[in-house]
Amino acid sequence: MREKRGKLMKVIVVSHGSYARGLVDTAQMIAGEQEDLEAFGLEPEESVDTLREKIRESIEQTSEGEEVLILTDLFYGSPFNTVISLMSEYNLYHVTGINLPLMMEVVMGRYAGKSAQEVCKDLLKAAPETVKDVRELYKEVEE
């Protein structure tokens, strides 16, 4: 097994199109290359069955004792439903509504050695702070 910092956690990002790949690439641009961080996108010409098999293969390649956290883009979207269909077969953590600030929370949480459960709780706490109405913030600063 590879030596890693903190707890062992594989992170799989699943989205419509190339969004997941963009999140992973951008997170790695900011935080550096990450182990066990994968992205899968549902492309227009691809079936959900094909996506499910890609995710299943990734889960099955997980090291013994490693937790799996899956992040999806849209509540009730096809990628979300695909992951839900795998949750009865595998012990997975799953958070939906992922964006770049939350992706960075995941990366930093893994770096800090947090468990998947701790990372999920942190994401739910941080989520409201990841979207701002800048016009309203600007008004507050001017007042």
Any domain includes 135: yes
- Is 68 inside any structural domain? yes
Q: Is residue 2 part of a domain?
A: no
Residue 1 inside a domain? The answer is no
Containing domain of residue 100, as a range? 9-142
Residue 4 belongs to some domain of the structure: no
Is pLDDT above 50 for 4?
no
Residue 117 lies in a domain: yes
**Number of domains within the chain:** 1
Q: What is the CATH number of the domain that holds 19?
A: 3.40.50.510
pLDDT at res. 142: 82
Which H, E and C letters describe the chain, residue by residue?
A: CCCCCCCCEEEEEEEECCHHHHHHHHHHHHHCCCCCEEEEEECCCCCHHHHHHHHHHHHHCCCCCCEEEEEECCCCCHHHHHHHHHHCCCCCEEEECCCHHHHHHHHHHHHCCCCHHHHHHHHHHHHHHHCCCHHHHHHHHHC
pLDDT tens figures, 65-102: 999 999 999 999 999 999 999 999 999 999 999 999 99
